Amino acid sequence: MSRRLLSFAVLAALLLTVSISAAQDAEPVRIGIAVAQTSNVALFGQEQVIGAQIASDYYNEQGGINGRPIELVFQDTAGDEAGAINAFQTLIADNVVGIVGPTLSQQAFAADPIAEQAGVPIIAPSNTARGIPEIGAYIARVSAPVAVVAPNAVRAALDINPDIARVAVFYAQNDAFATSETGTFQETVTALGLELLPVQQFQTTDTDFTTQITNVLPQNPDLVIVSGLAADGGNLIRQLRELGYEGLIIGGNGLNTANVFPVCQAFCDGVLVAQAYSVSYESEINTIFRDIYTEQQEKNPPQFSAQAFTAVQVFVEALIELDNTVGLDTLDLAASRTQLNETLLSLEYDTPLGPLSFTPDGEINQGTFYVARIEMNDDGQTGQFAFVASIETEPAAEVEATPEATPGS
Ligand code: 1QQ
């Protein structure tokens, strides 16, 4: 190398180092992650931590918020309302611009009002009960509500067995999500003209479901639908099979994790679960997310990781937009929280879940849902969600614009 070329190369390297360290020196933008890292609810929360971390690493590599790094501040909510309230209070006092969390709707109804009061934007990564965005102006979700996701599983079950006539429904009556989801399942069953057998209730802390199962098995259900969380739901499914039930089973969103596989083991096989994410969805951002996840974890990314990634992505893209239009530097913390909330509700996003936007209320607009069937491996411990159906939902405006598509016209 000539001397001139060499000094040019040295200068270039120096400039690069200076600009990288400038970005590293820039004050980070803090985003709170309040999910369950302990308790049974960590069966979901662990997947959320991974998804959020992948998003922050990825977007920091892309330059963060116009050169300012993203810093995730993790606060364990554990599995109950008090844990979520504590985590939210700690993060709000710790100067985060917004919070991704909590894990359960049951926790969201208790903790979200605190963020609302403080004017801190919340993106719910996995709160699917009816009424979450309505908690307040600062509450949005990237987790599609049970009302639009759950009915797809019932239709998929009927595709597999058109002779289904009698349906048994079990739900955890101490959990807001499970109570909301069973309402949707029961309405769907009735609307499809199927017979709803007497509804069976349990608690998310229960481990023995013999009473409820023996109440309903003599009535010969052809389909059983379970709305609970992962440990209770998994045990219920195992006991249903042990007590002789052979028909189809639908698990709700609480069964939407490979972490139930060690609970129901070989008996998880065949359970149908509706999904708001598909690993096979073809897009640039899903390919990026899937490749990073698969390389790190050596398995396919689950819905809860994809939703947590998406929640961080929404904050990042909205922060960049706010910085470009107003300038984050010109805003104090309270103003940046308020304007971040307004900005995030106004944008459209291309995410691993597909294209999405929000209603003014903070409800998610998402176009495509899926149904998967659990396929267990011979070891009885590991398995996968095999996709059996994908369902496009049309935006209301498009349905109105094509009257010729209306049945009977
Ligand atoms: C909710 C849910 C849970 C199953 C998330 C883990 O959907 O609480 O709303």
Query: CA-CA distance, 358 to 363, in Å (whole number)?
Result: 5
Query: CA-CA distance, 122 to 98, in Å (whole number)?
Result: 6
What is the separation of C-alpha 338 from the centre of its chain, rounded to a whole number of angstroms? 24
**Ligand 1 pocket, residue 259 CB under 6 Å:** no
* Atom 8 of ligand 1, residue of closest alpha carbon: 104
- Best of 39, 49, 105, 273 to mutate for ligand 1, by most ligand atoms within 8 A of CB? 105
pTM comes to: 0.91
In this prediction, residue 393 carries a pLDDT of 78
- Claim to verify: residue 16 and residue 29 sit in the same structural domain: yes
- Claim to verify: residue 158 and residue 265 sit in the same structural domain: yes
In this prediction, residue 5 carries a pLDDT of 52
Interval between CA 392 and ligand 1 midpoint (Å): 22
In this prediction, residue 287 carries a pLDDT of 98
Mean pLDDT by groups of 10 residues along the chain of 409 residues: 55 51 75 98 98 98 98 98 98 98 98 98 98 98 97 97 98 98 98 98 98 98 98 98 98 97 98 97 98 97 98 99 98 98 98 98 97 97 93 54 34
Cβ proximity of 315 and 344 under 8 Å: yes
Q: How far is CA 40 from CA 204, 257, 269, in A?
A: 10, 13, 22
Helix (H) or strand (E) holding 249: strand 248-251
Query: CA-CA distance, 315 to 327, in Å (whole number)?
Result: 15
- Claim to verify: residue 305 and residue 322 sit in the same structural domain: yes
**Ligand 1 pocket, residue 44 CB under 6 Å:** yes
Query: CA-CA distance, 312 to 32, in Å (whole number)?
Result: 10
**Ligand 1 pocket, residue 101 CB under 6 Å:** no
- Strand-by-strand arrangement of the 354-358 sheet: 349-351, 354-358, 364-366
Interval between CA 273 and ligand 1 midpoint (Å): 13
Helix (H) or strand (E) holding 308: helix 303-325
In this prediction, residue 296 carries a pLDDT of 98
Q: Which residues span the domain enclosing 112?
A: 3-144+281-366
- Claim to verify: residue 100 and residue 241 sit in the same structural domain: no
- The enclosing domain of 131 has a CATH number of 3.40.50.2300
- Claim to verify: residue 134 and residue 46 sit in the same structural domain: yes
**Which is nearest to 283 in space by CA: 363, 368, 347, 358?**
368
A 10 A CB-CB count for 206 gives 17
Q: What are phi and psi of 63, to 5 degrees?
A: 110, 5
In this prediction, residue 408 carries a pLDDT of 32
**Ligand 1 pocket, residue 209 CB under 6 Å:** no
Six-digit token string for 177: 């999500």
Q: Is residue 333 part of a domain?
A: yes
- Claim to verify: residue 41 and residue 131 sit in the same structural domain: yes
In DSSP terms, 351 is beta-bridged to 354
- Claim to verify: residue 79 and residue 98 sit in the same structural domain: yes
**Ligand 1 pocket, residue 127 CB under 6 Å:** yes
A 10 A CB-CB count for 300 gives 15
Interval between CA 126 and ligand 1 midpoint (Å): 5
**Ligand 1 pocket, residue 60 CB under 6 Å:** no
Beta-carbon contacts of residue 131 (< 8 Å; ≥ 6 apart): 109, 180
Burial class (CB in 10 A: 0-12, 13-18, 19+), 95: exposed
Interval between CA 142 and ligand 1 midpoint (Å): 12
Q: Is residue 300 part of a domain?
A: yes
Query: CA-CA distance, 308 to 48, in Å (whole number)?
Result: 5
Query: CA-CA distance, 262 to 190, in Å (whole number)?
Result: 33
In this prediction, residue 24 carries a pLDDT of 53
In this prediction, residue 389 carries a pLDDT of 85
Q: Is residue 382 part of a domain?
A: yes
Interval between CA 364 and ligand 1 midpoint (Å): 15
In this prediction, residue 406 carries a pLDDT of 34
Query: CA-CA distance, 385 to 105, in Å (whole number)?
Result: 24
- Claim to verify: residue 297 and residue 320 sit in the same structural domain: yes
Q: Is residue 404 part of a domain?
A: no
In this prediction, residue 397 carries a pLDDT of 35
In this prediction, residue 200 carries a pLDDT of 98
Q: Is residue 372 part of a domain?
A: no
- Claim to verify: residue 18 and residue 69 sit in the same structural domain: yes
Interval between CA 288 and ligand 1 midpoint (Å): 26
What is the separation of C-alpha 8 from the centre of its chain, rounded to a whole number of angstroms? 50
- Claim to verify: residue 153 and residue 233 sit in the same structural domain: yes
- Claim to verify: residue 264 and residue 220 sit in the same structural domain: yes
Six-digit token string for 64: 């963060």
Q: Tokens 């509804």 identify what position?
A: 199
In this prediction, residue 402 carries a pLDDT of 35
Q: Is residue 407 part of a domain?
A: no
- Claim to verify: residue 18 and residue 111 sit in the same structural domain: yes
In this prediction, residue 401 carries a pLDDT of 34
**Ligand 1 pocket, residue 179 CB under 6 Å:** no
Residue 150: CA atoms inside 13 Å, Cβ hemisphere, count? 28
Interval between CA 388 and ligand 1 midpoint (Å): 22
Q: What are phi and psi of 16, to 5 degrees?
A: -60, -45
Q: Is residue 402 part of a domain?
A: no
Query: Structurally, how many domains does the chain consist of?
Result: 2
